[in-house]
Amino acid sequence: MSMNGIDISNHQAGIDLARVPFDFVICKATEGTGFVDRYCDGFIRTAAGLGRKTGVYHYATGQSSGKAEAEYFYANIKGYVGTSLLALDWEGGAVEQGPAYALAFLDRLRELTGVKALIYMSKSVCRAYDWSGVAAGDYGLWCAQYADSSPTGYQASPWTDDGGTGAFPGMAIYQYSSTGRLDGYDGNLDLNIAYMDGAAWDRYANPGGGADEPSVPVTAPPAAPEKLAVDGSFGPATVRRTQAYFGTVVDGIVSYQPESNRKYLYSAYAGCWQFLKTGYGPGSDMVRAMQRRFGAAVDGWAGRDTVLHMQAFLGVAQDGSMGPKTVSAWQSWINSH
């Protein structure tokens, strides 16, 4: 039995996971000893709320020590231990440090969590180094190899060469495309097949199988959010709820909106919608996610086109102005999703 899934990071900011088909998602959490992916928590909470399997990974830089990177990863993912699969992303500059560095990471993480993480690497890296120490530690392999760069959907039997995986007896997860195309998202996605069922995934995440307490305190599954007041004001509560729904940063701020668009956003609460008097800036990830959902042009700036598509999506009068009736309809919609 197998499962289909994706791995994502800040590069997929604004993705609406509720619209994308997947059995599991593995999210970037940290990198080196100084970077935390701010989108990870929103992605994980959204996926967990959808009842999907989750995982978190650390992107190694090889610039300190395996132990130090493991401790940094652990410090930032304690709340996921016992519920999410853990993985080490071994590529880029870290590769030249060799398997000993990776093994130091995996062993230290196991000491801290009781979990044997997977290690991600390309098929060529599997065969270019002696991974016998890692394989002997029973650390599973998440392997990457692509047949080509052509866009593809999920594949039940993706191509792989017959050259083997070095010291590893096989693959737990296989990433077979970085140009995946799935309904609900208009960009490329990494596509993976996990050669396991949901129960096996849970055993990777929590080897105790639930019989014992998890190795560290875990974050309880998020409670159902409180209902928004249907008051027609796109204020802080509605902004935060919308951000949480789409898996973007939940800070209550709709950033970098051009002042010229304010006339289309009658019910936008000025205290949390950031209007720029000059220039345009990069726009808002939340707005980009909304535009994708409504089928509007995706630029991060909420203007007349966005409002018209929003109104069409909600089935309210299309006058191009985000007034109280439009916002109330959005609040009612998001309360039911």
pLDDT single digits (tens) 37-81: 989 999 999 999 999 999 999 999 999 999 999 999 999 999 999
User: What does the pLDDT read at residue 225?
Assistant: 65
Residue 184 zone, left/alpha/beta (φ > 0; ψ -120 to 50; rest):
left
pLDDT of residue 163: 87
Give per-residue pLDDT as tens, 148-195.
999 999 999 999 998 899 999 999 999 999 999 999 999 999 999 999
Homologous superfamily of the 3-205 domain (CATH): Glycosidases (3.20.20.80)
Cα-trace Rg, the chain: 22
CA 313 to chain centre: 25
Q: Which helix (H) or strand (E) holds 17?
A: none
- Six-digit token pair at 291? 């535009």
Name 211's Cβ contacts closer than 8 Å, sequence gap at least 6: none
Residue of 80, 94, 170 whose CA lies nearest to 126:
170
pTM of the model: 0.66
Buried b (16+ CB within 10 A) or exposed e, 142-164: bbbbbeeeeebebeeebebeeee
Domain limits, CATH 3.20.20.80, in the chain: 3-205
